[in-house]
Structure formats: structure tokens, C-alpha cells
Amino acid sequence: MTASFQALQEVADRVLNTAIEQAIFGAAPLTIVKSPPGAGKTFLVECASAVATDKPAMRVVVVTPGVSQLYDVVDRLLGYSLPRLELAHAKFRSLPDMLADRITASSGWAETLNVGPGVVVTNAHLLASYLHKLRPGTFDLMIVDEAYQLAASDFMPISDLATRIMMVGDPGQLNPVISADTSNLEASKHKIHWSAPAYVLDRFPETPIFELPVTRRLLPDTSNMIQASFYPDLSFQSIVDPCDRRLRFAVSGMEPAIDQALDAIARGASLVAITVPGGAPAHEEADLAVAAVMAKVADRLLVRQAEWVGQRRLTEADIGCIDPHVIAGGAISDQLRQCGRDKIRVETVERWQGLQTPVSIVRHPLSLAGSPTAFDLEAGRWCVSLSRHQLGCIIVGRESIASVIRDYVHSCDTVAAGARDATWLGYRAHRTIWNVLAEQGRIFAL
Amino acid sequence: MNAFDDTLHRVMARHMNRALPMRTSSGLSSDPDVSIGIATIKIVTEEQIQAIAYGPLDGEPEVIVRLDPIGRDVSDLVPFANFMDQTANRALAADGALRVWIPHSVTLEALDILGHRYWQNQAAPDAVVRMGKICRIIAHEATFPGQQVVADAASLLQDHIVTGLAPIEEGHLGAVLAWLDPAIRDPLTEARERIRLPASGILPNTPDQPADDRVDRLRKELKRAAGPHKTVIEKEIQDILRRWVLREWQLLVEARRAFLALDLPPVRLEELLEDSTKRMSYALQNGHFPARQPHKLAALLAQMEAGLEKAELAALEGDPILRDQARSAGKVVLGVVSDVRQPRSGRAPCDIDIESNQGVIRLRLDDKVKVVGTTITGVVRGVFSTQSGGTRVSIQITNGVRQTSSLSVGAKLEVMRAGYGFVNLSALQLVKQRQPWVFFGNVSPCVASGFPSGRSALEIAAGIRKP
């Protein structure tokens, strides 16, 4: 690691230590830690759990918005010798394979849980379901992981279950999933539909905030683009040394555009795009031509024997496809199956949140016929899509993306007056990223 | 319906010169005994109602026309206020079962504003204040997805049929109705002719129908007029307003008739209906209390979310056309039972595998599911891709294990997600009692500071990390 990266790493470690110290020993009952993608949120949760159960001998609860996140946290915490580690999930759930035989899950809340210092990992809904059995102060410390995905209304019932609360989350990614029209609530004094940290900061702006200043996942070029486009209020830099995170191909390229894009990644451009001629078909829910190119990109990575230099040769498990729509994702799966690459994971953006993969292949949400909707433009969704990769991300879409961005006219009534307009912010991010890719010669036309 | 299907249906409708149904079931329950209609004409710039037609839907409406709708004297609204009070009382006697038909959403906005204007207006007569409260209750109820009180005729028709018009043209209720009238041979021409005059609760203002300008001028003249001339002006204003509010009423009546003539059975709407009647019964009895406290707002949000889910699932379960569309998006899985693991017939435990040729499905591990058309429910325990590009879903049956005809190899089943949305009112009741500071406090409390050990978090974590 170079001296500059070392210095950044030390700063990041100091922030992590200070945030944990404040959350566990400080006079403020609530601490918020904002984190960019790949900054080590879960590592922070691990460290906080270790400190809290050490000398202060606290009863800690780690709360996640959804159940899949709680399994990931438990998987990580199993790597520590904590005085007690417990998992509680809903009665109808079964443990995923990765945790089977490693921990005994409690189906629902049980009186035997939370006795003495240690950690219970559960999700917000489960605690709310057993609220009648849980008194205020049941826990000494509550760590809310992925807190920006937890709606304030879901945090409310459990908010007094611990004396101290530490919220950890990424403010640039997907907001809590709320399907109902919340425009009327926007005028309310209590923005109950906002994420829990946003709600807290709206009511208590003096709440201690710590900002993790580095990303350990994204290479510097991606990090710079992501930070400028999605995190205007959160400054961070990559501490990934490009020399340690290189892609190399054993077989030279021959496919125009596709191999050129892959070679660009090997040369150090970790975010590139491939465009398919024309526009998306007007009356199809999946663009088969784009899906075919995405499958081809995956195939070429493997045929060319892509290698994470110093680590391993990449396999299907090292590639992830991201599509905002389930049906379009199904078309990609079909194409992958047809070229014998059916072990490559294809998921929606929501499913990819919180995960990482060496190489991601992303369908551009503005590769569409007609005008983009708020869903297509949403900033958080695009941010998640572009921040999963450790080595490289290949965006695939129609060449019409440029004109979709150029011709977009934003409606002034997309949100309640005075409210944050995520659609507009998303549009600006799209425009910035596409322009940067074009200026830097990172768009490869088929 | 996806964009392609939508366009295809419009082309077919235009070719056949009639509207085509998009559903086989209704999203609206049957009209209860207490069913009324309301149509309004407002002043565009002032958002003030200047004419109202109201009453039961099987007869002539009562009409109020307002000579001075922006004046402070609101006694002209008292007959409408009394009618609303009587309606509310009748609905209360029927446990909250009420249906309010309106031609389109503009009427609802007008009623909402009317409610806001008078529900706490101490200068208004008591009857008008009560009317304001009832209007607010109705408008509030309309914000709940799946609600069964407010029947917005234009919106209902748009949800259940498709015409040969462009979607934006379907905003005109009269134009939509042209496609539902068998007597009209050329509905496209007729619809576009009708679109020339607004059907949005305002007076027209076209060169051949300058009603809005005319009323505006007459009102100015009225201020200076006296004697018989004044009476003549008043009569002309009244005639214009009456004519156009009755046109709105007629649109409402025709739209309701057309909707009912679709003869779509209301299926699986019992829960939504019960939710609506409960809310209405409580509000009509106790008054309208806008949610302001955080736990009330959380309950409101949860009710809206639950309503949305209930409405979607009810529509899916009750309507094969919607399920067919949902299959393409993976929300419903159609497949054949390929394996049943039930050691004792008709008894739990029971696990089944369903093979489907759908490559795209939205069911995930541990999702609660139900088998359409049965009482069988279960939990997804596995989702696997098959060699042929389809999917195999393993389901642990939790309810209905005795329905062996469905739970047998070769049985064709449709599986969809079971309803999850519920409002955790008991938790919110506890929140109200406990008043957590984050939501109810005005200042952040201090907690007793602790004493760090002197070692960094990284050191402590590293110290207990397993090798």
C-alpha cells in the first residue's frame, strides 16, 4: 500500500474508532455513521459488537431492515468469539445453507435470549411483533445496520428498546421500499416515511454524525465518479491500490466493442459501457439484443480466461448481472443459459444491494423506448448498480441512451413542494456519469 | 398490463368500435343501501364550488347553484350540508357502509377543499361545519388504496376497460362513454367531438360555448344591477350553472350505468370492504382527526401500504386475466405438481414440488404463498432453475393439507404470494404509551458516559477474531 493510501486508511480507522467510542461511551444516545459503498459497514458493526460486549459487557442487538441482511451479519459475527451470539427470525423462516449447523436460530422471540453480555441479531419487524414482551432498555446498545433502508415508521416501535443506538448506513442507495403515495405525508411534521437516520436528523440535527471517508471496494476511477454523482454531501476516496486490483486476460480479444471494453478494464478503467445500435424495441418488456450482449460479455470474460491478478482465475461465481427489471433480467438469464453460463447470478438492483462481486454487468436503466420514468431515473437504484464491483463494471445499453438523457424534460410536479426530488437527482447523476464515460472514451459502440 | 398489451388492446378496440374489458372481476364491491352521487362545478381560479348536483343515483338530483360562490354567506350550502348529514347518519346506522359516486377525481378535490374550508370554520352554520367534516372524511378515505367508499367513475372505467383512444384522451369521461354506447357507430369521431367540451367539473370556455366567460361577466353586472334586471341576470347565471352541473351529473349516471353493465363480479373484496366500513363508521361517529402524532402517522402509512397489497392480491386472486398478465412478470407461477412428500395422506407434514415453464418468477425463499382458488397456503422452501429454462418451486404446505386433489402429482396449480401487509396496532399502542424520545421528545436526552478501555475498537475486534 502506498503512503497516501496508508494515510487514508489511518484516517478511516480513526473515524471508525471514534464513531464506536461515541456510540458506546459518549453522552449522546444516538449516533449516525454514514458510509459510502464498500467502506466496511459490516466491519464497523463487527467492531462495535466486539467493543460493546468486551469491558462494558453490554447486551447488544443488531437490527437489520430485512431478513437476508441479518443472515449476512450473523455470518460475519460468527467469525468472532463473542460472549454470546444469537439469531432470532420469524417462526416460518428457515436458516440459509450458509448458516446451517453454525448457529441455532430462535423462531420468534424467546425469554432465553439476551441474557448477559452478548449480541442478538434480528430484524426490525420481529422485534416489533414481540414488543409486548420487550421493555424499554431491554438492550444496552442497538446497532441498526443498513439503517437508510429502514423506514422511520418501522424504527419507531423499537426505538426505545436500547439506551444507546448506533445507525450505520449508506445514504446514497435505495430508500426504504414504500409503495403507497406519501406526498401527503411530506407536509407532516414527522416525516415518518423517510429513512430512520433521515428522520432523526430532521428532528435532531445535532445528532453526532460520522462519515466513513474511504471505500475499500471501488477502484479510484469508479469511486470518483460515484462520489461526484451520488454523494455530494459525503466526501470519500478509494483506498484500493489499482496495482493490487487488476484484471488480466490470458486470451487476447477479438470481438469488437465487447473485448475492447474488457481490455479497457484490464488497463485500469473500472467503469465502462458498451452500446448496442438503435433504440430499445418499443413493445417488448425485455430487450433481447441487449440481453444477448450482456451474456456475451460474461462469456467473453470467461473464454478469455480473465484473472484477478494475484488472486484467482474468475469463474461464473465471480460475475454478476444487474437489471432493474425482473422480466428483463429473465431474458439475460435465458441468454446466459443458452451459452452455458447459467451459474452467473442475475438479480434486480434491490437484491444486489449490500452485495459485491468482482465483475458486474449492468443493464443501463435508460436503455428504453419512450421517456424514462421516476423508477428508471431513481438515483439510489443507479448508485447501487454502479457500486457492486471490485474489478470492473460493464454497463450495457442502447446507443439511444445519449439522446434519452439529452432530450429528457423534467416535470416540476414529481414530488410534493419542497421535498427532495430523487428523480431529478437521479437524472443529474445519469447525465454526469454518461458524460464522463463519453469524455474519457469509455463507451464502446457495437 | 404491459405497454404492448395495452397498445394491442387499443388497436383492437378501435377496430371493433367498442371498448374492451380488461378484467373479469370488479375492483369495486356492490353498492350498499346508502349510495349517493355528487357532481360539482368549480371556479377554476378560486377552487370554489359554484354548483353542486347531489342525491340518490336512481332519481333526479338536487341542484344548488351559487350566485356568489366566493362570498362569506354560505347559507346556500345548507341543503347540501343537511343532505350530507342525513347520508352520514344513514351510513352510521348501516355500520359505516357508504358509497359516494363521483364522475372523476376533480370532484373529489373539490369536496376535499370544501371540507378544508368549513370543517373548523366557526363563522359557518353548524350544518355546514358538519358537512365540511363529512367531506374531509370522504376525501381522506379516498386516499387509502383499495378503499370501497368513493367510486370515481372515470377511474373505475379506466381500470376495467380499454378504448380505442390514446391513454391521455381517456381522461375525458364523456369520450370514454362513447365507446360503451352500442348505439354509437363511430365512437372515435364521437369521442373526439365530445372532447371539445371539458368533462372536468368546470364551465366550458370555447368559442361556441363561452359559459365561463359569460358567467364571469354576468357576476360583474350583478353587482351593479337592481330590480327586474338583477333577477334576469341571476336567472341566467343559475340556468348556465344548472345546465352544466347537470351535464356532469349525467356523465356520472351514465358512467355508473356503463360500469355496472359490464357485470363484473366483485370477488375477494370482503376484507377491503370491511376496512373501509370500519374507518368510515369510526370517523362518522367520532369526527375527523388528521394524523399528526408520529404513531398515528405510522398507522396511516401502514394502512395505506396494507390496502395497496390487499387490493393487488384481491384483484390477482379474483381475476384470471390479471393473473395471466402477472405470470409474465413472475408474480404468479403456473405449474404442475411434480412431487408430493406427505408421509400420511391428508396430514402434515406435506411438501410439494411444482414444475413451471416460467423462467422468471418473483417467489423467493421463505415467501408465504397461497394456491389460487383453494385454501392451501404454504412457504417457499426452494427455487431451482430447470434444464429446460423453467423453474421448480418447493413448497412446505402449512394449511390445506387435506386437499389431496390439488396436492397430487399432475395437478395444475397457480401459486401467488399470500398477503403479508398488516397494521401492527398493538405495537403502535405501546409506542403511544412509551413515548420514545426520538419520536415524541423535543430534545435529545443525555446518557451517562462510559469509560473506554484505552484499546481501539480495531484492537479489541482483532483480539476476539477467530483464527
Percent of chain B whose pLDDT exceeds 90: 84
Q: Which residues of A touch B399 (CB under 8 A)?
A: none
Find the closest chain B residue to A187 by CA distance. B292
Q: Which of B237, B256, B290 is the C-terminal boundary of a domain?
A: B290
* Nearest CB to A159 within list B293, B439, B463: B439
Reported as a single tens digit per residue, the pLDDT across A172-215 is 988 898 889 888 898 899 999 999 999 999 999 999 999 999 99
Mean pLDDT of B26-40: 96
Quick check: A97 pLDDT over 80? yes
Rounded to the nearest angstrom, the minimum Cα separation between A190 and chain B is 6
Q: Which of A178, A198, A215 is the C-terminal boundary of a domain?
A: A215
Mean pLDDT of B110-116: 95
> B440 — alpha (psi -120 to 50), left (phi > 0) or beta?
alpha
Q: Is the CB of A156 less than 8 angstroms away from the CB of B307?
A: no
What mean pLDDT is reported for chain A?
94
B285 and B295 both lie in a single domain: no
A165 and A259 both lie in a single domain: no
Structure confidence at residue A342 as a pLDDT band (50, 70, 90): confident
A280 and A393 both lie in a single domain: yes
Mean pLDDT of A308-335: 93
Rounded to the nearest angstrom, the minimum Cα separation between A147 and chain B is 15
CATH of the domain at A393: 3.40.50.300
Find the closest chain A residue to B437 by CA distance. A160
Q: What is the DSSP string of A49-97?
A: HHHHHSTT--EEEEEESSHHHHHHHHHHHTTB--S-EEEEE-TT----G
Does A159 touch chain B if contact means CB atoms closer than 8 Å? yes
Q: Is the CB of A159 less than 8 angstroms away from the CB of B444?
A: no
Q: How many domains does chain B have?
A: 2
Q: What is the pLDDT of residue A421?
A: 86
B240 and B352 both lie in a single domain: no
A416 and A402 both lie in a single domain: yes
A207 and A225 both lie in a single domain: no
Q: What is the pLDDT of residue A83?
A: 96
Q: What is the pLDDT of residue B436?
A: 97
Does A182 touch chain B if contact means CB atoms closer than 8 Å? yes
Quick check: A283 pLDDT over 80? no
Q: Which residues of B touch A94 (CB under 8 A)?
A: 365-366, 381
Rounded to the nearest angstrom, the minimum Cα separation between A52 and chain B is 9
Find the closest chain A residue to B435 by CA distance. A160
Mean pLDDT of A69-83: 95
- SS3 per-residue string spanning chain B: CCHHHHHHHHHHHHHHCCCEECCCCECCCCCCCCEEEEEEEEECCCCEEEEEEEEECCCCCEEEECCCCCCCCCHHHHHHHHHHHHHHHHHHHCCCCCEEEECCHHHHHHHHHHHHHHCCCCCCCHHHHHHHHHHHHHHHHCCCCCCCCEEEHHHHHHHHEECCCCHHHHHCHHHHHHCCCCCCCCHHHHHHHHCCCCCCCECCCCCCCCHHHHHHHHHHHHHHCCHHHHHHHHHHHHHHHHHHHHHHHHHHHHHHHHHHHCCCCECCCHHHHHHHHHHHHHHHHHCCCCCCCHHHHHHHHHHHHHHHHHHHHHHHHHCHHHHHHHHHCCCEEEEEEEEEECCCCCCCCCEEEEEECCCCCCCCCCCEEEECCCCCEEEEEEEEECCCCCEEEEEEEEECCCCCCCCCCCCEEEEEECCCCCCCHHHHHHHHHHCCHHHHCCCCCCCCCCCCCCCCHHHHHHHHECC
Q: Which of B266, B290, B314 is the C-terminal boundary of a domain?
A: B290
Q: Which residues of A touch B445 (CB under 8 A)?
A: 29
A228 and A286 both lie in a single domain: yes
Reported as a single tens digit per residue, the pLDDT across A112-154 is 999 999 999 999 999 999 999 999 999 999 999 999 999 999 9
Q: What is the pLDDT of residue A1?
A: 58
Q: Can you give the residue range of the structural domain that contains B424?
A: 291-467
Q: What is the pLDDT of residue A422?
A: 85
pTM, to two decimals? 0.91
A264 and A408 both lie in a single domain: yes
Q: Can you give the residue range of the structural domain that contains A396?
A: 220-445
